[in-house]
């Protein structure tokens, strides 16, 4: 019973971490989904089924690309894997600069089918690849599998939540103005710093210097 409890506790911890990672790296994707569902409700296109299908296909491709990149990074010595934290850190700094420069811009709208929605998901989530690659590279294989499974479940949750929010235009405006532009870059910076500091790579760099 003790072993089972430990395994359950670990599984729950991995799933919670994965859910948190997915949420903070896909807030901008939630905005895109909400806009698509708003457009669907107003004009009938794209259809909700097309939006969900495109979202799943795009997310799967992003996960596959990240997994492949993480496998390629196995040649990086474990002592220096923490340097990968520079990637989300750089993205976060860039995102803050972009947020300040384009702070008065509105959310875009699209007229799309499944293929186009898939392309939008990939383009919008392209910056997530570096974060997922870093996480997949540093996690054990079993934890990576649980993380990916959690991601796939949350794709459906994301779609459902976005569709439910279409009647709340004030929510969409708040997300665009305050969350999309500012919170996501801050989260990326936080992830990068946690990886750099938690891995001890900065200490090793100081010693070698």
Taking CA atoms, 207 is separated from 15, 98, 123, 157, 204, in Å, by 36, 35, 40, 46, 5
The pLDDT, as a whole number, for residue 59 is: 93
Q: How far apart are CA 24 and CA 128, in angstroms?
A: 10
Whole-model pTM above 0.85? no
pLDDT mean values, one per 10 residues, the chain (209 residues) = 57 88 85 77 82 93 88 64 70 76 54 75 74 85 92 94 75 56 69 74 71
**Per-residue model confidence (pLDDT) at position 147:** 93
Residue 52: its pLDDT value, please? Answer: 94
Query: Residue 134's closest CA among 69, 46, 185?
Result: 69
Residues in the chain: 209
pLDDT at 77: 60
**Long-range Cβ contacts of 134-143 (<8 Å, 24+ apart):** 134/70, 134/84, 134/85, 134/87, 134/88, 134/191, 134/195, 135/21, 136/66, 136/67, 136/70, 137/70, 137/73, 137/74, 137/76, 137/81, 137/84, 138/81, 138/84, 138/195, 138/199, 143/14
**Nearest by Cα to 15 from 111, 163, 157, 161:** 157
């Amino acid at each position: 019973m003790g072993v089972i409890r430990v395994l359950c506790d670990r599984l729950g911890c991995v799933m919670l971490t994965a859910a948190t990672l997915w949420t903070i790296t896909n807030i901008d994707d939630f905005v895109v989904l909400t806009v698509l569902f708003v457009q669907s409700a107003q004009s009938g296109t794209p259809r909700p089924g097309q939006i969900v299908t495109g979202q799943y296909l795009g997310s799967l491709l992003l996960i596959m690309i990240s997994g492949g990149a993480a496998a390629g990074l196995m040649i990086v010595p474990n002592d220096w894997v923490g340097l990968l934290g520079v990637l989300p850190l750089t993205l976060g700094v860039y995102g803050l600069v972009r947020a300040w420069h384009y702070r008065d811009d509105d959310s875009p709208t699209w007229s799309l089918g499944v293929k186009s929605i898939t392309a939008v998901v990939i383009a919008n989530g392209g910056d997530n690849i570096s974060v997922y690659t870093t996480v997949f590279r540093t996690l054990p294989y079993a934890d990576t599998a649980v993380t990916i499974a959690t991601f796939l479940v949350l794709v459906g949750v994301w779609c459902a939540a976005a569709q439910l929010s279409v009647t709340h235009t004030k929510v969409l405006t708040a997300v665009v103005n305050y969350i999309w532009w500012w919170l996501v870059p801050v989260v990326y910076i936080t992830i990068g710093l946690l990886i750099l500091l938690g891995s001890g790579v900065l200490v090793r760099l100081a010693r070698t210097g």
